[in-house]
Each structure stands twice: as C-alpha cells, then as structure tokens.
Amino acid sequence: MKRFFKRREFLKMSSAAALAGLTGNLTGDQAPEKALTIEEAARKVGKLPRRKLGYSGQEVSIIIGSGDLADAPKEAGILCGMNYWHKANQWMRTGTPESILKNREAHICQVTVDRVGGDRHTGRIDEEEHVSYVKEALKSTGLGYFDDMQLHYGYYSAEELKKERGFVRAFERLKKEGLVKHLCLSQHGYAGNSRVPGGESMAEVLTAVVDDGLHEHAQFIYSYGADPEMDRFMELARKKSFGTIAMKTARGIGRMKEDEEFMNKLPAGTSPHNALTRWLTTETMLDAVVMRVRNLDEFVDSYSGAGKELRHKDARAIEMMTVQADKTACRLCTKCQPHCPQQVPIAEILRFERYAVDDHDWSKARSLYAGLDRRGDACLQCQTCVPHCPQGLNIPDKIAAAHILLS
C-alpha cells in the first residue's frame, strides 16, 4: 500500500501548487517530480472532440465541465475546448471564471434548479420561486443568460411529469425574456423510495420524458457493467435525437486504485479512468460525459482517453473493472429498493458510500447521510433485497458497513 499512499500525497501537492499558480518545480524533499502546468496538461490531453447534444443542436465537448471543478483542471479544460458547464450557478458562491466571462458566447452554461421548501424528496416544483432563483443566479454570476435550465434530480414519475408543469412554465417565462434557451433535466431513480410514493425508476421516467417531447436532453447515472434498461432508453433517445449526458461514471474506481493487487493485474499501459473515458466516449450511445477529476494529473489520466479508440488492453481493463466493481460498488439502479420492508434507502446510502470511499469526499458523504430520515441501522438483515440486486451484492453487510463509516 505504501506506493499508493505516496502517489496520493503527490497528487494533492501537485493540485495545490497549480491552484496557487506555482506552475514550476515543486521544491523540498517531498516531491522530486515536476508538477504539471496547466498548459502542459492541456497539451497532453489535446482538443476534446465535440458532438451535437441531441436536437438542442448545441455542439458540446464530449467531456463536460462542472461549476465545482477545481481551478487548474477547469483552465486546462478550457484550453482543450471544454465548453459545457454543468451547475454554472455554483459560481454564485465562488465567482464566475474570468476566462468564461470574457468569452461568454463560446460557452454553454447550465443552471441547475432544485425543488423548494424541502429536499429533493420532499420539496416542490414552484414556478415563481424557480423564476426568481434563475434571475438571482444571473445577477450574481454576471453570465447574462443561461443556455440550459435543468430540473435538478428530475421528476418522481411519468405521472408527475404530465401533471406538474410548473418547471416548464418557469422555463417558458424566462425564455421569453431571453434569459434561458434550452430545457433539460438530471434524473435519479425513485422506485420504492419511501419518501416518494409512486416513484419510478430512472429509465421509466426518462422514457416518459423523451415521449413527452418538451425537454431537450438529460443527464443521468451511467457507468460500465450491464445496464439493459438504460441501454434501451439510450437507443430510444438516439432515435428521437434526445441528448444524453452520463454522470457518476467512475463506479468503484477510487477503491480499485487503492487495491494494489488489482492494479498490478491491469494490462500495462492502461489505467481505470483512461480506459473508462475511451469506452464511454466511443463505445456507448452517449453524447457527452461528466467525469470528476480533482487535479491536473487526474485531468491528464482521464481526459486523454476522450474520443480515442478502445484498444484491446483497454477492453480487457474494462472487463476486469466490471468484475471488480460489481463485487464492491453499487450501480445505484434502485432495483432492490421496492423490496425492502423497512424502506431503508439502500441506493441513497450506497451513493453516499461512493462519495466517501471512491471520491474521498467524507464531509459531503457524512453530511448527506446525517440528513437521511432513515439510516442503515433500520436494516433488519432480513435479506429480502438481496435476490433483486443485479450485482449480487450482499446488501445488508454493505449497509451495516456504510452505517459505521458514515455515522
């Protein structure tokens, strides 16, 4: 494990140096390697290919950025032609990057809009409040307009989509004023969720959204490993020119990289993130992908695979990663959820476990876990959920371990 610990330390230092603008040599005994500069990182990745985001017609980089991307990878991304910014409203807190403000028309900025009066399970869609929020976000970011207005976390069911049009009305009002251009959503699954009676799976809601025809593209959970329902949805989306962006793509890779035995078995010249980026951007029906990176080293490792051929060794790596991740990391499909008599929010808990174990974002994971109204200690270890998990995960054991980890 020693070798991996050293590398993690170096990655942290390299990122910190770049953020501070120290783009030359790191000095001191700890880091004999030279930290990457933003320009070097951008050169190693090269120009990111672009694709049309469904019938919205927007030409987007196949790897998109996010409002919470750290400064160094963000600037390197811009040099590589990264032009789509999910959660651009996060810049209300941190300030809008000058490089985007001074070249506003070259960028596609998205505002994510949450339900109000509660969290994503209990809050409501509210036309007036959504209009006010977007106007406030525009004032505060100085962006002038948002290209995309996204319903964050999506609809609970096809029925809600049909009956609750407050978000669409808010979009239409803002569009008339020239403040937004395209309507979209990000979607999670709500089937069997105790706080969302009548909730449906991600694929069910997204299929209804495509048939409904008002939203132009969607962002949803998708990663490697068999997912026939989402593959069927993506076929439909492609047929109807509905745009698709995958998120939460790096299932289980954080813990995989700390497993020295597993890493030593990977084919030489591959890495989990690089193989995954190649696969996502060339072997799936996706238009674009969000993949979290924390620093310039991860930026180069992950994004240098964008749009590049999946070599034999990458395909082998993906096979090995699938077997490994299926044993360790929940794909958040929610298939287990309706079968739990205790209504334990299994997928939610295992999503927070991923934030902690894979992304090392412990404070986010713990604070989200603390906000749950039912936690892992409600599990009776009855095993009813287990046969419904396509990965065959030992759900009760994982829930018990997550409870200890996140409490």
Q: Which residues bind ligand SF4 (CB under 6 A)?
A: 330-336, 339-340, 342, 344, 346-347, 350, 379-385, 388-389, 391, 393, 395-396, 399
Given the complex with ligand SF4, which of 301 and 348 has the nearer CB atom? Answer: 348
Reference 306, options 47, 86, 25, 88; nearest CA is 47
Least CB distance to ligand SF4 at residue 285 (A): 21
Given the complex with ligand SF4, which of 115 and 331 has the nearer CB atom? Answer: 331
Least CB distance to ligand SF4 at residue 349 (A): 9
Least CB distance to ligand SF4 at residue 376 (A): 8
Least CB distance to ligand SF4 at residue 325 (A): 10
Given the complex with ligand SF4, which of 298 and 326 has the nearer CB atom? Answer: 326
Given the complex with ligand SF4, which of 214 and 226 has the nearer CB atom? Answer: 226
Least CB distance to ligand SF4 at residue 58 (A): 32
Given the complex with ligand SF4, which of 272 and 396 has the nearer CB atom? Answer: 396
Given the complex with ligand SF4, which of 23 and 342 has the nearer CB atom? Answer: 342
Give me the residue label for tokens 């209300």.
Answer: 92
Least CB distance to ligand SF4 at residue 369 (A): 15
